[in-house]
Amino acid sequence: MDETGRSGGETARRWLRLVPTAIWGAGLVFLALAVGEARWWAGGFVLAGGLAHLLLRGADGNRPRSTAASRSRNQPHWPDASVKSVVEALREPGVVVDRSLALRFANAAASRAFGPLVLGDPIAMRFRAPDLLAALERAVESDEAEQEELNERLPADRSWGIDILPLRLAGEERPPFLLLLFRDHTQARRLERMRTDFVANASHELRTPLASLSGFIETLKGPARDDAAARMRFLDIMQEQARRMSRLIDDLLSLSRIETRRRLRSNEAADIADILRSVARQLGPQAAEGGLAVRLVGLDGDGVLVNGDRDELIQVFANLFENACKYGGDGGRVEIGLRRDGEGVEAYVRDFGKGIPAEHVPRLTERFYRVEEGTSGKPGTGLGLSIVRHVLTRHRTRLSIVSEPGKGSTFSVRFVRFLDAMEKH
């Protein structure tokens, strides 16, 4: 937009308005000649000129006109260059409106955030938020600063905190302009929502076993007081519920510890082949007890160092291994291994169970997410893979899940070799 606030589009429209006049002019020239076919040409041009005139009026009529816009055009001056350069220098989106709430200036950050803004248009055309407009009216009325929140759904979910600041200029009795300064609160709002969701989910998950425990205590104190057989059965269930609560608390603590832990140090190295062997050693007997064969693949050769924290990576692969036994155990065998290639290594855990339906796969690492039909009767909290995801994010890598219903699932993680990772730092 140029200094006077006239956009390139507006200049083009002014030229366009001359088109009917030009066509009518040509018609008049032919009329003046008034010989032979020239009369038909004259008639044609006059008709075409009329049509062009009507069309252009129609197009202009679709353009939003407002009293605010026309009022603003009559105002004596635009924000001066120094005001503009200050607003332009802001990192946050900044928009200047006049007292009639017509847009007078928008900095580059505002154009990036809100798309092209047409100078002279009422601000209400872009921000259709009654609360914001009311706050602007109040600021115009009182000449005092105001604050407002704006939540946009489209084109994306965004939250803005807006300071409305009257701009006082020398020689002016009242501030002729208002600066709208937008601060992006999207991330803060998202975190806030995640935190409240998390607390709600965690309490819900704890309340279920707790309700069951209190129910059984009531029964044991009352109707089942003298029933020895029922007492033993109920105590077993209560023990299982208590275990569930303690698993949940362990996982929650684990998750919060990982979330608050600082970034992984770049000089920390761990042998991923040894980590996988260690997981198989620790959990193999348990798998064998459940009738599962455990196969180690690619773990015989030399160690492979990756940038990582040994204990955290053990936690990751133990989690994946336990899941493979728990949910993929009907396949009869589990594989844990390493694939090496020129660029790095891929550590994986594979099962041959009934797999995971495709629609669940992208959601598995969400907190508390469990696939209903796969978990019936199997203890779990739905937090294991969420912990895995957090640890891997700290390790600047991620979990890949490939699952084929009826054939099994592979959970894998790619690492760059330690020396290559060091070179990148």
Q: Does 392 engage in binding with ligand ADP (CB under 6 A)?
A: no
Q: Does 370 engage in binding with ligand ADP (CB under 6 A)?
A: yes
Q: Does 334 engage in binding with ligand ADP (CB under 6 A)?
A: no
Name the nearest CA neighbour of 374 among 333, 324, 315.
Answer: 324
Q: Does 374 engage in binding with ligand ADP (CB under 6 A)?
A: yes
Q: Does 400 engage in binding with ligand ADP (CB under 6 A)?
A: no
Q: Name the one range near ligand ADP by CB under 6 A: 78-86, 255-263, 340-348, 372-380.
A: 372-380
Of the pair 305, 383, the CB lying nearest ligand ADP is at 383
The answer to whether the beta carbons of residues 399 and 365 sit under 8 Å apart is yes
Q: Does 335 engage in binding with ligand ADP (CB under 6 A)?
A: no
Of the pair 151, 256, the CB lying nearest ligand ADP is at 256
Rounded to a whole number of angstroms, the minimum distance from the CB of residue 363 to ligand ADP is 9
Q: Does 327 engage in binding with ligand ADP (CB under 6 A)?
A: yes
Burial of 204 (0-12, 13-18, 19+ CB in 10 A): exposed
CA–CA dist 388, 375 (Å, integer): 19
Choice from 48, 371, 402, 422 touching ligand ADP (CB under 6 A): 371
Choice from 384, 389, 418, 421 touching ligand ADP (CB under 6 A): 384
Name the nearest CA neighbour of 177 among 92, 80, 65, 66.
Answer: 80
The first and second tokens of residue 293, run together, are 């064969």
Choice from 248, 324, 336, 345 touching ligand ADP (CB under 6 A): 324
Q: Does 381 engage in binding with ligand ADP (CB under 6 A)?
A: yes
Of the pair 326, 417, the CB lying nearest ligand ADP is at 326
Q: Does 198 engage in binding with ligand ADP (CB under 6 A)?
A: no
Question: In Å, what is the CA distance from 144 to each residue of 95, 135, 136, 332, 375?
Answer: 17, 10, 10, 73, 60
Choice from 49, 166, 328, 329 touching ligand ADP (CB under 6 A): 328
Q: Does 385 engage in binding with ligand ADP (CB under 6 A)?
A: yes
Rounded to a whole number of angstroms, the minimum distance from the CB of residue 204 to ligand ADP is 15
Q: Does 93 engage in binding with ligand ADP (CB under 6 A)?
A: no
User: Dihedral of the CA atoms 277, 279, 284, 290 (nearest 10)?
Assistant: -150
Q: Does 421 engage in binding with ligand ADP (CB under 6 A)?
A: no
Q: Does 258 engage in binding with ligand ADP (CB under 6 A)?
A: no
Strands of the 293-297 sheet, one edge to the other: 293-297, 333-341, 344-351, 408-415, 399-404
Rounded to a whole number of angstroms, the minimum distance from the CB of residue 226 to ligand ADP is 38
Q: Does 375 engage in binding with ligand ADP (CB under 6 A)?
A: yes
Q: Report the DSSP beta bridge partners of residue 71.
A: none
Q: Does 409 engage in binding with ligand ADP (CB under 6 A)?
A: yes
Q: Name the one range near ligand ADP by CB under 6 A: 238-246, 263-271, 298-306, 351-359.
A: 351-359
Residue ranges that bind ligand ADP, judged by CB under 6 A:
323-324, 327-328, 351, 353, 356, 364, 369-371, 374-375, 380-386, 409
